[in-house]
A and B are shown apart, each in its own frame.
Chain A
Amino acid sequence: MSDKTRNKQDMTISHNEIKPGSMPPNASISRKLREFYDAVQEEGIPDRFLDLLEKLDEAERNTKSVKVK
Chain B
Amino acid sequence: MTMTESDDRGFKRDLLASLPNLRAFAVSLTGRHDKADDLVQDTIMKAWANQTSFTAGTNMRAWLFTILRNEFYSQMRKRGREVQDTDGLFSERFSVHPEQYGRLDLQDFRKALDKLPDDQREAIILVGAAGFAYEEAATICGCAVGTIKSRVSRARSRLQELLGVSGEGDFGPDAGHAAITARAFGG
Contact = CB atoms under 8 A, between A and B. Distances in A.
B174 A36 contact: no
Given A5-B182, A36-B110, A48-B37, A29 B156 contact: yes
Contacts of B175: 21
Contacts of A35: 106, 109
A53 B157 CA distance: 40
Contacts of A65: none
Interface stretch (B22-30, B72-80, B81-89): B22-30
A26 B156 contact: yes
A31 to B, nearest CB: 9
Contacts of B181: 5, 8, 20, 23
Interface residues of B, number: 51
Contacts of A25: 156, 160, 163-164
A49 B106 contact: no
Interface size band for A: 35 or more
Given A5-B181, A36-B106, A46-B37, A53 B16 contact: yes
A18 B163 CA distance: 9
B161 A20 contact: no
Contact of A21 (B45, B102, B156, B174): B174
A21 B185 contact: no
Interface of A: 1-2, 4-5, 8, 15, 17-26, 28-30, 32-46, 48-50, 52-53, 56-57, 60
